[in-house]
């Protein structure tokens, strides 16, 4: 079953606990947490203190997407708060394998994110075999509610193809503009894990489960 990862970027921050509780009974769900530094992307969100509280409160897996310039600086403070997945941006790092081995010591799952304009074949095969997740950004990172960039889907197809040919085990996650109109094609290309922010949280009666079911 496809994992759905609601992005709390679109939640009502004034009632974050209630918002998270609306997902309590849903299976195969990760909480997607967009950590931004105002430098790698032109926006700021939440950090260690908020993620720690979420981890104590929710039994869902925490999926942290670090849109930050120096992801290595975040390992020490985030390693003990129960994150399931730590995704960093390929573009923000020079020594990728060094970072991946540090992350693997501290988190159950390690992901690489690619901006829309970053070609997918920058990730060498020996790293594809080591990582747990590749995140294909289908909007430019920094904000929710943007339009899906269709041209990024060929990267999802490439990753799916490589996975089948080489028995890689990574999740293929798609983030940005996922909704009822775009989901079919995304999954047909091979995505296994879908981040959805504005589509889920704009449900007028806060029946987020119905939005997740419609994606599935």
Which residues of this protein are in contact with ligand DX5, per CB under 6 A? Answer: 7, 9-10, 32, 34, 65, 139, 141-146, 175-178, 195-199
156, two tokens: 């999802």
Verify whether residue 175 is a known catalytic residue. Answer: yes
CB atoms within 10 A of CB 186: 24
Interface with Zn ion (CB under 5 A), residue from 118, 120, 175, 178 = 175
- The smaller minimum CB distance to ligand DX5, of residues 141 and 162, is found at 141
Report, in Å, the least distance between residue 60 CB and ligand DX5: 16
Report, in Å, the least distance between residue 135 CB and Zn ion: 7
Contact of residue 196 among ligand DX5, Zn ion, none (CB under 5-8 Å per partner type): ligand DX5
Specify the long-range contacts of residues 96-100, CB closer than 8 Å, at least 24 apart. 96/127, 97/127, 97/130, 99/71, 99/72, 100/127, 100/130, 100/131
* Choice among 21, 27, 34, 37 that is catalytic: 34
- The smaller minimum CB distance to ligand DX5, of residues 177 and 190, is found at 177
Q: What does the angle CA 161 – CA 168 – CA 136 come to, to the nearest 5 degrees?
A: 60
Binding part of the chain for Zn ion, among 30-38, 46-54, 93-101, 152-160 by CB under 5 A, reads: 30-38
- The smaller minimum CB distance to Zn ion, of residues 65 and 155, is found at 65
Phi, psi of 32 (to 5 degrees): -90, 125
Task: Please list the active-site residues.
Answer: 34, 175
């Amino acid at each position: 079953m496809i994992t759905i990862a609601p992005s709390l970027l679109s939640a009502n921050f004034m009632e974050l606990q209630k918002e998270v509780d609306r997902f309590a009974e849903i299976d195969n769900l990760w909480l997607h947490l967009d950590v931004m530094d105002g430098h790698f992307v032109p926006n700021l969100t939440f950090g260690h203190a908020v993620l720690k509280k979420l981890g104590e409160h929710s039994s869902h897996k925490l999926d942290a997407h670090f849109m930050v310039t120096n992801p290595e600086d975040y390992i020490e403070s985030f390693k003990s708060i129960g994150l399931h997945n730590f995704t960093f941006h390929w573009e923000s790092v020079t020594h990728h394998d060094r970072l991946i081995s540090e992350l693997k010591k501290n988190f159950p799952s390690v992901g690489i994110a690619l901006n829309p304009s970053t070609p997918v074949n920058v990730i060498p095969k020996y790293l594809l075999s080591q990582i747990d997740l590749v995140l294909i950004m289908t909007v430019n990172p920094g904000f929710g509610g943007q339009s899906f960039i269709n041209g990024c889907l060929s990267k999802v197809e490439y990753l799916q193809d490589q996975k089948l040919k080489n028995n890689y085990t990574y999740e293929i996650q798609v983030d940005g503009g996922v909704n009822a109109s775009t989901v079919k094609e995304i999954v047909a290309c091979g995505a296994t894990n879908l981040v959805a922010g504005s589509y889920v949280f704009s449900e007028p009666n806060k029946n987020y489960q119905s939005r997740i079911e419609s994606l599935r």
